[in-house]
Amino acid sequence: MTDFTQIRLDKADGIATLTLYRPEKMNAFTGTMMNEICAALDDTDADDSVRAVIVTGHGERAFCAGADLTPEGGGHVFSDPNPVSDLSDERVRDGGGRLTLRLFNSKKPLIGACNGVAVGVGATMQLPFDIRLASDNARFGFVFARRGIVPEACSSWFLPRAVGLQTALEWCMTGRIFDAQEALDRGLVRSVHPQAELMDAARAIAREIADNTSAVSVSMTRAMLWRLAATEHPMMAHWIDSRSIYRLSRSADAKEGIASFLEKRAPVYPDTVSGDMPDFYPWWDEPGYA
């Protein structure tokens, strides 16, 4: 963690806070930032003391101002500079997509606290967050058509699921910047807060998760809702629901959940994500890039 140069990762009382940290560039996105966020998620996934992760940007101006259009040392901005003939080559892969796929596979809930400008990848990287909050000065923009490219970071999959197809098409085809109130009205964020209150609101949600829920239950729930909502028939959800209830109903966490309720006390769940996920997890085959 001490080797991070473009993010900060802090942990306290069951909550990890991941801060995008490039003050001189409004937290603009780079390949280094992508790799560091992915490494931070590897850390939080492996740390059973972490129950929720808050992602925010440094300062009060920007969450992330998009891809760094003037990277140090020059170079290609939107993709790998090396020419390739085979588009299945790993070097073709979009860095924003690598990041959102890693966020999608997080074993811990992700809470976004958008503290200012969020355009391009600064907006699309937030789409795999489970809960998104914004400050009242936040601004969003899916600006790709105004830069001569297309939506990236798997946002053609994530964005319509968050806000509906019509809104996703409008925002991406116009590339216009819109404010936090429109983001709230269209369902991109769940709430808008004064800048000074944003992190407290995010921590309150994280605290609710950390203090009252089973880590295994939350991790399974996250995977089930993200993955099963996109399947072609509810029977596919029934397969996983049934297996999950059967296994988890026999767990130490289920015993504690019932006992703490009947005894009218706070629960102390013993099971861990690292050691006690159901034996059929993961139930999916992770596709590779092709």
Is residue 17 within 8 A of residue 9, CB to CB? The reply is yes
pLDDT at 70: 76
Distance of CA 113 to the CA centre of its chain: 11
pLDDT at 86: 87
**Which residues of the chain fall below pLDDT 50?**
none
Give the count of beta carbons closer than 10 Å to the beta carbon of residue 197. 13
Is residue 19 within 8 A of residue 43, CB to CB? The reply is no
21 closest CA partner among 37, 11, 38, 6: 6
pLDDT at 128: 98
140 closest CA partner among 193, 114, 86, 178: 178
pLDDT at 30: 94
Query: The tokens of 191 are what?
Result: 């709430």
First to last CA, the chain: 32
Question: Which tens digit of pLDDT belongs to each residue from 180-224?
Answer: 999 999 999 999 999 999 999 999 999 999 999 999 999 999 999
H or E element that contains 234: helix 234-248
Is residue 9 within 8 A of residue 16, CB to CB? The reply is yes
C-alpha atoms less than 13 angstroms from C-alpha of 258 in its C-beta half-sphere: 7
Is residue 143 within 8 A of residue 120, CB to CB? The reply is yes
